[in-house]
A and B are shown apart, each in its own frame.
Chain A
Amino acid sequence: MNWVALKMLMGDKAKYLGIVFGVSFAALLMAQQSAIFCGLMRNTTSQIRDIQGADLWVMDRNVQFVDDTKPLSENALYRVRGVEGVQWAVRLYKGLARARLDDGNFQQVILIGVDDATLTGAPAVEQGKLLHGKLEDLRRPDAVIMDEFGWRYLYGAEPFAPGKTIEMNDKRAVVVGLAKCNPTFQTFPILYCTYTQAVKYVPQERKTLTFVLAKAADGVTPEQLCERIEQQTGDLRALTDEQFFWTTIGYYLKRTGIPINFGITVALGFFVGCAIAGQTFYLFTIENLKQFGSLKAMGVSNPRLVRMIMLQALVVGTIGYGLGVGGAALFGYVFERVVTNAPPAFHFPWQVLALTAGAVCVIITASAAVSLRRVLFLEPAVVFR
């Protein structure tokens, strides 16, 4: 009988395509909007993902997200080093600086000062993140490494060449390398330099240490170590990469209207999809009501009818879902390649696929349920009227 159900479904091409289109449109809209939302949210954490090599971040207790810098005393570094289970700990500066360009314009930049000795947190060479130059160049006087988007933003299509100078806090900085960084939320150029250099590039501050990056010793999980650090130091907060990532995203979710806006769009996609797919499916069922009635008279039981209709719904749902998420993925693929001078906000995690799948399930179940209601309460005697 499943075969009959499928034949029935595909026999009416117009309606079949209509339902598939409805579902795939909904899936496309939901997946694409969710992916942009995820991308945007993920961009807020780009520095957490860029600065690698350590297990955890130690910061002031009141830091709410990665750009919320609350400087620490230099001694915090040594207090962290004193915690049992810390394999090593290094300092990191992260902040905004105002750069004066060759042409006299001012530009806000994200300044990252890595530990002078170890360069922990500098662009990951292993992952090919350093496009030009050498990390060792950072040790040269006034040297900074700029990120790719920043270069395009400041110098347009000009190909990279080391030696560009900019001025920060009346001090000279020379661009010696180009790094590939994750797209940022603020879209400012990113400059890497050594910690001591970074401190000179910002106006005098009472404290300068923004973060302490620490690595857990063998046999200690980063989570355990975080707890220990917080317990022993008392006024510091320690988060693993993962925790910091979610803390930052949590902040943006709570404090900005972004999730609401995207939520509305996704909901819109959901409802439009529900409407189109549900409506068409319902019409399809109504049209076939007489057929269903005769099947019912001929001895098809209600559970069997439910299975048939659910199978039809499942087929259109699956096809529509596949087309929809494929379309969304294609959108992202093209978007990331066409837009090169601005950091793209598109991230396609499995959760988006799962969420879309769930929503499509709801759509087709709802559509099928409306149709089923008619079919199940259909008196078989109607075939004689």
Chain B
Amino acid sequence: MTAQLMDKSVHSELRVPHSAIALRGVTKEFGTGDTKTVALADINIDLPYGELVLLVGPSGCGKTTLISVVAGLLDATRGEVEVLGENLTRMGNGRKVRFRGDNIGFVFQQYNLLPALTAAENACVPLLIAGWDRKKAVAKAKELLAAVGLKDRLNSYPNQLSGGQQQRVAIARALVHEPRLLVCDEPTAALDAHSGRTVMDLIRKVAVQPDRAVVVVTHDSRVYDFGDRIVSMADGRVESVQRTEDRAQETEGRVPH
């Protein structure tokens, strides 16, 4: 299947639409008049489920803006944004917050763990946001922490963990509520090469699921080979979308259709 060929008649009723993310003519401008800067200029892109998409490009090229728009944190100035079959452009603010909480997992460059909570408690926060009972949420979080290999650091506080460990906790947190879209912002930037690779490896192994889209923003070329698809950006435009064939095959094998 090819994401580029996805037609626009995607309906939200479809359980698994062909395209997880579909942007049409998305433009984002900051400021007005003389100070107006164009962060995104007429972006048209379709990204499929079940792939790890790397969003690369130099600093200031608009990748953070693009990911913010995709995650529903920023509104596009013009254009249509469709994520997981929902049109975010026409979505109200309150619904958008709920949509984020229910469907999107976040991994941040600085991990953004709550220093007052243990690893397990941190990992269960999205479930708490969703209204889960605390005990159940912690139990679920522990499962995920085990999956990211932190079974023996469940009750450690973030300041007792290394950067890589913290980022793994963050990944567990991002996935605990089983989101259909995982957004990672420079997950390896604050880590050494080894930890970066471990984290990326983890994202590939744990996060990439057939019905989940994963978008990783990075300018760390060392991790390019983890992506199924690499979207290069420059000056607010998408320069190229490349498929890494060897990865694609592996992915192809796992996707049922």
Contacts and interface: CB of A to CB of B under 8 A. Distances in A.
Interface in B179-236: 185, 217
B73 interface: yes
B85 interface: no
Nearest to B97: A301
Contacts of A379: 73-74
Interface size range of chain B in the complex = 20 to 34
Contacts of B64: 381, 384-385
Contact of B68 (A7, A8, A301, A384): A384
27 contacts: A1-B128, A3-B128, A3-B134, A4-B117, A4-B121, A4-B128, A7-B116, A7-B117, A11-B114, A290-B112, A291-B114, A291-B115, A293-B112, A294-B108, A297-B71, A298-B101, A298-B125, A298-B126, A300-B129, A301-B94, A380-B73, A381-B64, A381-B68, A383-B106, A383-B108, A384-B73, A384-B185
User: Which 4 pairs between the two chains have the least Cβ-Cβ distance?
Assistant: A299-B101, A11-B116, A294-B112, A381-B68
B112 A383 contact: yes
A300 B152 CA distance: 29
A10 interface: yes
Contacts of B116: 7-12
B159 to A, nearest CB: 10
Contacts, number: 82
A1 B129 contact: yes
B67 interface: yes
B95 to A, nearest CB: 10
Contact of B100 (A3, A290, A297): A297
B110 interface: yes
Nearest to A2: B128
Contacts of B117: 4, 7, 11
A295 B125 contact: yes
Interface string B95-115: 001111110101011101011
Interface of B: 64, 67-68, 71, 73-74, 94, 97-102, 104, 106, 108-110, 112, 114-117, 121, 125-126, 128-130, 134, 185, 217
A298 B104 CA distance: 8
A228 to B, nearest CB: 65
Contacts of A295: 125, 129
A299 B97 contact: yes
Nearest to A1: B128
B136 to A, nearest CB: 14
Most A C-beta atoms less than 10 A away, residue of B64, B97, B108: B97
Interface in A1-28: 1, 3-4, 7-12
A383 B108 CA distance: 7
A291 B108 contact: no
B108 A7 contact: no
Nearest to B96: A299
A384 B63 CA distance: 10
Contact of A7 (B71, B114, B126): B114
A249 to B, nearest CB: 49
Interface in A173-212: none
B79 to A, nearest CB: 17
A219 B108 CA distance: 78
Contacts of B134: 3
B221 to A, nearest CB: 20
Given A7-B114, A301-B94, A384-B68, 11 more contacts: A4-B114, A4-B128, A9-B116, A290-B112, A295-B125, A299-B100, A299-B101, A299-B126, A381-B68, A383-B185, A384-B64
Nearest to B68: A381
Contacts of A3: 128, 134
Contacts of B102: 299
Contacts of B110: 290
A8 B114 contact: yes
Nearest to B126: A298
Contacts of A300: 97, 101, 129
Nearest to A300: B129
Contacts of A384: 64, 67-68, 73, 108-109, 185, 217
Contacts of B112: 290-291, 293-294, 383
A297 B121 contact: no
Nearest to A302: B97
Given A380-B73, A384-B108, A298 B68 contact: no
